[in-house]
Amino acid sequence: MIQREVLPNGIRIVTENITYVQSVALGIWVGVGARDEADNLRGVSHVIEHMLFKGTPSRSAQEIADQIDSVGGDINAFTSKENTCYHVRILSEHVPLALDILTDIFLNSIVDPEELGREQNVILEEIKRRDDEPDDLVHDLFAETLWPKHVLGKSVIGTPETVSSFKSKDLKDYMATRYTPDTIVVSAAGNLNHDEIVAMVTERFGHLTGKKSDWREPDTDPKFEAGTSYIEKSIEQVNLVLGAPGFSQLSEDKYKLSILDNILGGSMSSRLFQEIREKRGLAYSIGSYSQSYREGGYFGVYSGTSAATAEQVIDLVKAEFVNVRKNNITEKELDRAKNQFRGGVVMSQESMNSRMMRMGRNELVYDRVLPIEEVMGKITAVTCEDVAQVAEHLFGRDAYAMATVGPRLKASRNGTGKKAEKSGAKSEKAAK
């Protein structure tokens, strides 16, 4: 059973008690991410995430790690474009320790200038690693190409210039302004006691004040721009993403898109996988994905293929876009996609960490946890006609954004495109 509590200052607590397990996944979520950063602060949320593990007045960085490891737990964090999450998995009897550590680093981190300097070097190395991984880099280059004038097109990790410029005061001021109670959600799943968690969170967080409306700019729809960006690298494969605008997390059409996504490239039985990899042998990696935020979303197809076959792959992908728009999907494909969705949802419920993550994200987006039955009902209700409408929305204009990393394609493809040698791209999630 999922239980929910809202503290007087606006902090939300959601828990799910699962009595047949012996562990708990616990997370402190903040509805603050790369989307909220000004140009001179690109990457600051990710730097804060790193620094909160570097010591408090009562625990050194080593002691934080030792105390979790000594009871068999696991602690980590991640930053995305809209959220930051500090989370731990622990045996049930150690929930008080886990929550004490999480709240300690959240409220009391020192952000020592010398330690910050070392961690900035670590993140600069992380940026270099990203630059050496084209299958990571290309996805955010695609987002930057699709939404060049919107904050959602910007990177999570920032740039070497911005990351190097931050001082301890910048991080502290940013947290003091933006980590307001109404942006904070504590979520937990596993063998737990809801009332005990509420009491502990109230004791530690009940004094916090402030409101998101004091600092956050209103949501704005990202404006799509068709175009091509490329980063030329002397590597064996062209890594490419081709796609179009999709739907916001708040749109009911996202459920219809999830069905189309599955049929086009979301599984081994999908059209693109079967046509491009299995029948033609043109690529090892080929698949589609959709990404949704509060303000908008997009759909993309990713592939890694040789320079000699990249243009053929692009043509085949576009041909399938036309095919699905003109001829729609079959009832058999629709049923298969629904069953795959259901299987994925059911199997994810076997993980306490997945349950905790789902509740935290739901609270930040919808201000409630969507019941599984509600989500499945919306998927079950999708028809072939619904999918046809989504396909028309995505592909009807025949206007796409494309990003490539690797050998440069010929002029007809992206020679006139935007060269992005120093992209700030980073995959959607930047982990500690």
Q: 291-305, pLDDT tens digit by residue?
A: 999 999 999 999 999
Mean pLDDT of 348-374: 97
Burial classification of residue 170, based on how many CB atoms lie within 10 Å of its CB (0-12 exposed, 13-18 middle, 19 or more buried): middle
Tens digit of each residue's pLDDT (9 = 90 or more) over 22-56: 999 999 999 999 999 999 999 999 999 999 999 99
Same-domain check for residues 210 and 236: no
* pLDDT for position 217: 86
Mean pLDDT of 308-314: 97
Tens digit of each residue's pLDDT (9 = 90 or more) over 226-271: 999 999 999 999 999 999 999 999 999 999 999 999 999 999 999 9
Q: How many residues does the chain have?
A: 432
- For residue 432, tell me if it sits in a domain: no
Same-domain check for residues 35 and 167: yes
Residue ending a domain, choose from 170, 186, 214: 214
Rg (C-alpha) for the chain, rounded Å, is 22
Looking at the predicted structure, is the pLDDT value of residue 124 above 50?
yes
Note whether 240 and 427 are within 8 A (CB). Answer: no
How many Å apart are CA 76 and CA 65, to the nearest integer? Answer: 10
* pLDDT for position 10: 97
Tens digit of each residue's pLDDT (9 = 90 or more) over 7-17: 999 999 999 99
What is the Cα 326 distance to its own chain's centre? 32
Q: List % helix, strand, coil for the chain (3-state, nearest 5).
A: 50, 20, 30
Query: Helices (DSSP H) in 166-212: which residue ranges?
Result: 168-178, 194-205
* pLDDT for position 415: 44
- Beta-strand relationship, 227-232 and 418-419: parallel
- For residue 431, tell me if it sits in a domain: no
Same-domain check for residues 259 and 184: no
Looking at the predicted structure, is the pLDDT value of residue 103 above 80?
yes
Query: Helices (DSSP H) in 183-243: which residue ranges?
Result: 194-205
Domain count, the chain: 2
Same-domain check for residues 13 and 63: yes
Which positions are annotated as active-site residues? 49
* pLDDT for position 429: 40
Tens digit of each residue's pLDDT (9 = 90 or more) over 171-201: 999 999 999 999 999 999 999 999 999 999 9
How many Å apart are CA 406 and CA 380, to the nearest integer? Answer: 41
Edge-to-edge, what's the strand order for the sheet holding 12-17? 2-6, 12-17, 184-190, 23-30, 84-91, 74-79, 430-431
Structural domain range at position 122: 2-214
- For residue 117, tell me if it sits in a domain: yes
Q: Residue type at 358?
A: R
Same-domain check for residues 258 and 126: no
How many Å apart are CA 361 and CA 36, to the nearest integer? Answer: 17
Percent of the chain exceeding pLDDT 90 equals 94
* pLDDT for position 321: 98
Instruction: Dump strand ranges (E) for 179-226.
Output: 184-190
Q: Which two tokens stand for residue 326?
A: 């003109």
pTM recorded for the entire structure: 0.92
Q: By three-state DSSP, how is residue 420 classified?
A: coil
Note whether 108 and 57 are within 8 A (CB). Answer: yes
Note whether 287 and 270 are within 8 A (CB). Answer: yes
Same-domain check for residues 319 and 402: yes
Note whether 197 and 188 are within 8 A (CB). Answer: yes
Same-domain check for residues 202 and 263: no
